[in-house]
Amino acid sequence: MDQYYNYLKSLHLIFVITWFVGLFNIVRLFVYQIEAADKPSPEKEILQKQFKIMTYRMWYIITWPSAILASIFAFWMLFFTDLGNAWLKMPWMHVKLGFVFVLYLYHAKCHQIFKQLQNNQVNYTSNFMRLWNEGATIILFAVVFLVILKNAFNWIYGVIGIILFSVLIMLGFKFYKKIRERNQS
């Protein structure tokens, strides 16, 4: 089975990438769908109908299948190869799996929001969704740095780096919000 490890890793990585593409795009579509709810008729109905179709396709054709396939290949690598079994004993892998668990929670919350929007329930603002979209970015950065740096990773600097990165994202969000508000005036 170890002779196929690099094939499994390649397939895992491909589906992780498409999973994140789906997560990034679905939340962006949520933003548009929420903003469409504030439009006058008939624009509102036309946009909402189109965004429902787009989010449905993004969610069920790209995001969910990618999440499932990325998980299958990850479990296959971890539990059915010698290298995967060795990695399960390493502290960095435990931290990475913690972030993956948070990613599953993020995905589940996106599914809940998707279902609400499909039923015309708008429970969040477009600004909240723009901020929510950065959650996947933070998880992605954390996981990539953990996987690449492994044991060389200093946990204290890593945590500080993720916090600083999050602060930069928040500042960028506030800056972008001011620019949007100025352009709408």
pLDDT, tens digit (0-9, with 9 covering 90-100), for 131-141: 899 889 888 98
The CA distance from 5 to 86, in Å, is 13
> pTM of this prediction?
0.86
The CA distance from 146 to 33, in Å, is 35
> Is residue 39 part of an annotated ligand binding site?
no
The residues near 92 (Cβ < 8 Å, ≥ 6 apart) are 146, 149, 150, 151, 153
> Is residue 9 part of an annotated ligand binding site?
no
Q: What is the mean pLDDT of the chain?
A: 90
For the chain, helix (H) and strand (E) counts, in that order, are 7, 0
pLDDT, tens digit (0-9, with 9 covering 90-100), for 53-71: 999 999 999 999 999 999 9
**pLDDT higher than 60, residue 153:** no
